[in-house]
Amino acid sequence: MSKEPSTLLDVSASCACGDVTMAILGTVGSMFMCACLHCQQATGTGHSTVALVSEQRLTVSGTTARFSRPSASGASFTRHFCATCGTPLYGQSSRAPAVRLVAAGFFAGNNQWFEPNQLIFARTQQDWDAIDDHLPRHETYRPAP
């Protein structure tokens, strides 16, 4: 089985109020969209845009806050955001504590590198949320290799 392609990045950005800066230096693994109801609620849109990044490749400075909840897999999922303006930063699953699920939109204006390779939780995708039909779709999580 072939490994998913990775993208080498050196990007940084600040949240809406400028209190938090986040940078990725190194490779990004899978990039995907998630249309689960939790992502819809957290983003205020029809899906989230996620880039998987090793915690070692992500630097966050500034005051952040977090919120944890159970996920569909049974793991605990924690969303991190700016404590002042609420800009979403990244998520973290208790099942993969060294991986960060970075919100690609955080790097607005410098996120042309984002190339999603799938849609997860397609079963709850909204009809009004137009997502390219060429992406592989999974009703829930992507099947394990």
Query: Please, which residues have CB within 8 angstroms of residue 92's CB and are 6 or more apart in sequence?
Result: 77, 78, 80, 99, 100, 101
Confidence band for 1, pLDDT divided at 50, 70 and 90: very low
User: Torsions phi, psi of 122, nearest 5?
Assistant: -65, -20
Q: Do residues 135 and 90 touch, judged by C-beta distance below 8 A?
A: no
Q: Can you list the pairs that 75-81 forms with residues at least 24 positions away whose Cβ atoms lie under 8 Å?
A: 77/38, 79/42
Instruction: Give the integer Cα–Cα distance in Å for 83 and 67.
Output: 11
- For residue 9, the tally of other CB atoms under 10 A from its CB is 21
Tens of pLDDT along 26-82?
A: 999 899 999 988 889 988 999 999 999 999 999 999 999 999 998 877 889 999 999
- CATH 2.170.150.70 corresponds to the domain 7-124: yes
Confidence band for 2, pLDDT divided at 50, 70 and 90: very low
